[in-house]
Structure 1
Amino acid sequence: MMIIFGYLYFIYYIGPHYMIGRSPYKLKTLMLLYNFIQILANLWMVQEHISFGWFSKYGVLCSEPFPHSPNTLKMFNSIWWLFVLKIFDLTETCIFVLRKKQDQVSTLHVYHHVSIIFFAWIYLKYILDERVLLISLFNCVIHVIMYVYYFVSAWGPKYQQMISFLKPVLTKIQMVQFIAMIIYGLQIFNPACQVQEKFHSVIAVFFIGNVLIFLYLFYDFYKKSYTTKAKKRIIKLNIKQLI
């Protein structure tokens, strides 16, 4: 809670006030390093998840047996490091503030980061069910793709222009990820799904609700960024042609 509070205090108060009257920092090297670390860390996490036995030993159906194995402790240790990585993700917003990109400190961006840390903490503190790790596998795969895009973009406007067509595709991929998470999570309501504790079912309901919020926010972002704006550009171009 102190980390989250400090994060919110910096991005909404200390950071913007500090930047008043100052030129935005470029931070190109820092952004490249940050994105490169994210690519390597998420690739490692994907490799770890696959080494646990996903898609070989373990299936995706909640009703299928998921026996404990010598990998169990390794799984939870890796997820602890993933939790640390999610805290490291907060660096991204601080970079936005120092570059005077306050418009990128959106409700979607901040809510996404804070809620993921909160649910990861709940999972490690109270749940530790191996079946949930398929969701973190989805997330790490998407983050590898996403940070490769950010890494290329950080080199400058020339490269941003070259891969600009991928921006709406990334948002669509993230929305597909959320839909997959919701479908996977809804299995908790299947009587054949063995739930360790009733408390876990309650957390699952809140988690699914949170993912639905993500889906709505990302869809709203997609609609405003790539649908409405695109239509306005077409109308403006047509008007110019008529004039």
Structure 2
Amino acid sequence: MEAVFGMIKYWCHDFWEIYGDHRISHLPLLKGGPWHVIALTLIYLYFVKVMGPRMMKDRPPYELRGIMLAHNTFLVLLNGIGFLVGMWGTNWGLDTLECRPFDPSSSATQDRVLFYLGYTYYISKFIDFLDTVYFVLRKKYTHISPLHVFHHTMMPFWCYIFFKFSSYTNNGFIPLINAFVHTVMYSYYALSALGPHMKPYLWWKKYITQLQLVQFCFATVHSLYMFADQTCTCSKFLISLQAAHGILFLFLFGDFYKQSYTPKVQTSTSTKATRPISSSKKVASKVN
């Protein structure tokens, strides 16, 4: 029995501390294995899929305009400032093309800033859960697409793995461009939360999805570039997963864009008579 408990302890905690970056263990939601991440994600899924709809079944939708405006404005500032600080810390993004481990305990100010900036990015993925919670409370169930839920479910775990096992400058590329995309996206959400009178000024929604598609293209190309770099000591396995992640979401978001913004081709269901039409009737007939 002692051996069983020892094995459970090893795989639940010790393994992640031995092979993971022990320097980050003092930060909340990063000590030990990813079980806290999985637990919070399961709570999120349970509320979105079961508890929330059941709670709202016989209730009118909540009016959350003020809360949503504050929430989205906060995320605009968080991602916008994070993007600017990240650009400063990575030499305008050039350092993300290098594969250099960084040390938050060093005297280099940039390394310490980037370390905690990466942690802030990780925590923001849990804050993003609130997007779906607001949809449930407002009974906007059509907004809760499988892609939306899958994306929000994947990101916290994905960030945990890279933060725990791959503290390299090249892994700052995706958070950097993602912070920029989220700044634009939450700016749109903040403006839409102001009320219906803003609708004429929100014509650029589809361009946000286009920006996301460009983001996944860049992320995939960057991952393939780092995978081909023979001097990079960063885990090639994680880089390959990163490339697969970019390709997967490029396909999923591309399909979403096609379904949402590509004009549908309407086909006529009427059948035409096969008998000959007289010349007088041909003149009078109309083209469908």
TM-score (norm 2): 0.74
Tell me which residue corresponds to 1:45.
82
- CA shift at 1:201, angstroms? 1.0
Which residue does 1:35 correspond to in 2?
72
Which has the larger displacement, 200-209 or 93-102?
200-209
Matched residue type, 2:129: L
Give yes or no for contact 1:19–1:98 (8 Å, CA) kept in 2.
yes
Cα offsets for 1:200-230 (capped at 9, x unmatched): 211111122122111111111111111045x
Asked whether 1:61 is paired with 2:84, we answer no
| C-alpha contact (below 8 Å) 1:171/1:222 kept by paired residues | yes
Equivalents in 2 of 1:16, 1:125: separation in Å?
Answer: 35
1:223 aligns with 2:264: no
2:177 aligns with one of 138, 145, 166: 138
Indicate the structure with greater helix content. Answer: 1
After superposition, the Cα gap between the structure-2 partners of 1:28 and 1:40, relative to the gap in structure 1 and judged at 3 Å, is same
Q: Give the 3 Å change call, closer, same or farther, for CA 204–189 of structure 1 in structure 2.
A: closer
User: Higher relative contact order at CA 8 Å, sep ≥6: structure 1 or structure 2?
Assistant: 1
The alpha-carbon deviation at position 156 of structure 1 amounts to 1.8
Residues 120-199 of structure 1 mapped to structure 2, 5 A cutoff: 120-163=159-202, 165-196=203-234
Matched residues in 2 for 1:11 and 1:66: separation?
A: 38
* CA contact 1:45–1:140 (8 Å) conserved in 2: yes
- Paired with 2:59 and 2:101, the residues of 1 have a C-alpha distance of 56
Q: Decide whether the 8 Å contact of 1:175 with 1:219 is kept in 2.
A: yes
TM-score scaled by length of structure 1: 0.87
Q: Give yes or no for the alignment of 1:107 onto 2:146.
A: yes
Q: What residue identity is the alignment partner of 1:47?
A: L
Distance 1:9 1:22, change over 3 A: same
The residue aligned with 2:12 is none
* 1:188/1:195 contact within 8 Å kept: no
CA distance in structure 1 between the partners assigned to 2:247 and 2:59 by the alignment: 39
Whether 2:132 is the aligned partner of 1:97: answer no
SS at match of 2:97: coil
In 1, the alpha carbon distance for the partners of 2:173 and 2:52 equals 36
Distance 1:104 1:158, change over 3 A: same
Could you tell me which residue of structure 2 aligns to residue 239 of structure 1? none
Q: Secondary structure at the match of 1:21?
A: coil
- More displaced stretch, 65-74 vs 126-135: 65-74
Q: CA deviation at 1:8?
A: 0.2
> 3-state SS of the aligned residue for 2:262?
helix
Could you list the structure 1 runs, at least 4 aligned residues long, displaced by more than 6 angstroms after superposition: 65-69
CA distance in 1, matches of 2:131, 2:144: 10
Deviation, 1:158, is 2.4
Aligned residue among 184, 203, 208 for 2:243: 208
- Show structure 1 runs of 5+ residues with no match: 236-241
Cα distance in 1, alignment partners of residues 196 and 231 from structure 2: 50
Q: What whole-Å deviation, never above 9, does each CA across 1:156-197 have from its counterpart, x for those lacking one?
A: 22212331x21111111110011001000101332444123x
Query: How big is the shift at 1:73?
Result: 2.5
Take 1:190 and 1:116, find their aligned partners in 2: how far apart are those partners?
25
Q: Paired residues, what number?
A: 229
Contact 1:36 1:151 in 2 (8 A): yes
Point out the more displaced range, 97-106 or 202-211. 202-211
Q: Which letter does structure 2 place at the counterpart of 1:21?
A: D
Counterpart of 2:50, as a letter, is Y
**CA deviation after TM superposition for structure 1 residue 87, in Å:** 0.6
Q: Which has the larger radius of gyration?
A: 2
Q: Deviation at 1:60?
A: 5.0
TM-aligned CA distance change 1:112 to 1:67, over 3 Å? closer
Whether the 8 Å CA contact 1:182–1:211 is kept in 2: the answer is yes
